[in-house]
Amino acid sequence: MSVPPVLSITQLNAYIKSIIDGDINLNNVFVCGEISNFKDHYRTGHYYLTLKDEKAAIRAVMFRTANQRIKFKPENGMSVIARGRISVFERDGQYQLYIDDMQPDGLGALNLAFEQLKNKLAGEGLFDACRKREIPKYPRRIGVITSPTGAAVQDIINILTRRFPIAQIIKCPVQVQGASAAPQIVDAIKRFNTGHYADVLIVGRGGGSIEELWAFNEETVARAVANSKIPVISAVGHETDFTICDFVADLRAPTPSAAAELAVPDKFEQRTYISALKYRVAQVTQREIQQQRAGLKSIESSMGLISPVMVINTHRQRLDGYIASLYTAVASTVSDSRSALAVLGSKLDTLSPLKVLGRGYALAYKKGSLLHDDANADIGGEIEVRLEKGRLLCTVEKISV
């Protein structure tokens, strides 16, 4: 009988590791357990934890490259299903589970991430009613941040144009789903705020699954909405859809179409309101005249036989004075109102981009969208230049900074 070789600890642990690593049954295992001893290593970004049930426990590690793919943040006491492989940490002779993926046991990962972020931001006071800004009643410029190709943008533009055509609509096209959606939405909100290019922002998209709407549940988007100096109307999905953006925004609209209706007044309602004001002025004027006439008759009755002609003439003159004063007051009110409307019309005319064209400026468009900077133009590409009189179709030969 041969004597077994004497192994070093390093050799023994390496041998055990090779045995375990070579077992295909341990290379892809699914484990259900409760998280304990959870640690998020601040330097490496790795997760270290223990998974346990009623009778046993196993140490586990989830490297940064893997944990960046999950949507929720693990917590002690949370029941999860982990997928990974069993191997040996040779230095300590400790076998453990190396986790490649992890999902909550029961509640979906996205739903859990939604609740975690919702509770976090609510604790910071970002949902409080006291920090909500008032939506301006008569916005001159409306920023629309949504997909350039979806039905939502057309619904918004059609309703804004129909209800309040004097408002300028500034579109900022972004992706509304996928990995690049959240960064683009954040950048659009910041750009509008940089120059205060709008009086109110509509941020949203049409309906979809929780995965498709997830960009509006990202923390970066929520904080961009919360930090916006311009009031924000959230218009994400259908009436039953709720996102983190809805809670942070100054106003939540059930649909993109509803957001457009909430953003501006209706021109027909405003005309009705002005007509009602004119009617009230006429009523007040007529009532005052009738009261003055009744007073004159009372005075005539009380004077008896004392110079009736003189009394009549005196009160007739007084009545004429009252009537003249009333007409003067009404004319002054109407004149002031007309002047105010003329000033507002002049201001709106000054803001018109067509007025600017009359001073020698031009507007450049690329595929129907207004160009704001040279980054959106391509050498060799075509742009349309609108002048005060006529349009030019140009080819970009050079871009100068």
> Are residues 248 and 121 both part of a single domain?
yes
> Are residues 341 and 283 both part of a single domain?
yes
With tokens 């959240």, the residue in question is: 182
Task: Give the Cα separation of 213 and 71 in Å (integer).
Answer: 14
Amino acid at position 364, single letter: A
Residue 132 lies in a domain: no
> Are residues 72 and 118 both part of a single domain?
no
> Are residues 242 and 152 both part of a single domain?
yes
Residue 93 lies in a domain: yes
Assess whether pLDDT exceeds 90 at residue 299: no
Among 263, 284, 305, give the residue marking a domain's end: 263
Give residue 1's pLDDT band: very low, low, confident or very high (50, 70, 90). low
Amino acid at position 100, single letter: D
Instruction: Render pLDDT for 185-200 as a digit per residue (tens, 0 to 9).
Output: 999 999 999 988 899 9
Share of the chain above pLDDT 70, in %: 95
Helix residue ranges per DSSP H, 209-307: 219-227, 244-248, 256-263, 267-303
Assess whether pLDDT exceeds 90 at residue 180: yes
Task: Give the Cα separation of 213 and 202 in Å (integer).
Answer: 16
Instruction: Render pLDDT for 108-135 as a digit per residue (tens, 0 to 9).
Output: 677 888 888 999 999 999 999 999 999 9
Give residue 106's pLDDT band: very low, low, confident or very high (50, 70, 90). low
> Are residues 204 and 232 both part of a single domain?
yes
Residue 301 lies in a domain: yes
User: Mean of the pLDDT values across residues 245-255?
Assistant: 94
pLDDT of residue 220: 95
Instruction: Render pLDDT for 214-239 as a digit per residue (tens, 0 to 9).
Output: 999 999 999 999 999 999 999 997 77
**Chain centroid offset of residue 85 CA:** 43
* pLDDT-wise least confident of 180-184, 289-293, 359-363: 359-363
pLDDT of residue 353: 67
User: Mean of the pLDDT values across residues 8-31?
Assistant: 90
Contacts of 199 (CB under 8 A, 6+ apart): 136, 139, 140, 141, 142, 230, 231
Task: Give the Cα separation of 135 and 250 in Å (integer).
Answer: 8
Q: Number of structural domains, the chain?
A: 4
pLDDT of residue 379: 85
Assess whether pLDDT exceeds 70 at residue 43: yes
> Are residues 233 and 278 both part of a single domain?
no
Residue 343 lies in a domain: yes
> Are residues 82 and 25 both part of a single domain?
yes
Task: Give the Cα separation of 114 and 138 in Å (integer).
Answer: 35
Pick from 272, 229, 226: which is nearest to 248 by CA?
226
Among 245, 263, 281, give the residue marking a domain's end: 263
Strands 29-40 and 232-236: unpaired
> Are residues 369 and 238 both part of a single domain?
no
> Are residues 163 and 249 both part of a single domain?
yes
> Are residues 142 and 255 both part of a single domain?
yes
- Residue scoring higher pLDDT (366 or 261): 261
With tokens 């023994």, the residue in question is: 12
Pick from 282, 284, 313, 281: which is nearest to 296 by CA?
313
pTM value > 0.95: no
Instruction: Render pLDDT for 324-335 as a digit per residue (tens, 0 to 9).
Output: 888 888 888 888
Instruction: Render pLDDT for 358-400 as a digit per residue (tens, 0 to 9).
Output: 777 888 888 888 888 877 788 888 888 888 788 888 988 888 7
Residue 249 lies in a domain: yes
pLDDT of residue 238: 75
CB count within 10 Å of CB 80 equals 24
Task: Give the Cα separation of 293 and 17 in Å (integer).
Answer: 112
Residue 131 lies in a domain: no
Give residue 60's pLDDT band: very low, low, confident or very high (50, 70, 90). very high
Residue 401 lies in a domain: no
pLDDT of residue 167: 93
Q: What is the mean pLDDT of the chain?
A: 88
> Are residues 228 and 251 both part of a single domain?
yes
Among 213, 232, 263, give the residue marking a domain's end: 263
> Are residues 53 and 171 both part of a single domain?
no
Phi then psi for residue 56, to 5 deg, are -150, 170
CATH number at residue 54: 2.40.50.140
Residue 2 lies in a domain: no
Q: What is the domain extent for residue 309?
A: 267-351
Instruction: Render pLDDT for 133-159 as a digit per residue (tens, 0 to 9).
Output: 999 999 999 999 999 988 889 999 999
User: Mean of the pLDDT values across residues 309-327?
Assistant: 83
CATH number at residue 214: 3.40.50.10550
* pLDDT-wise least confident of 8-12, 153-157, 207-211: 207-211
pLDDT of residue 257: 93
Would you call 326 helix, strand, or coil by DSSP? helix
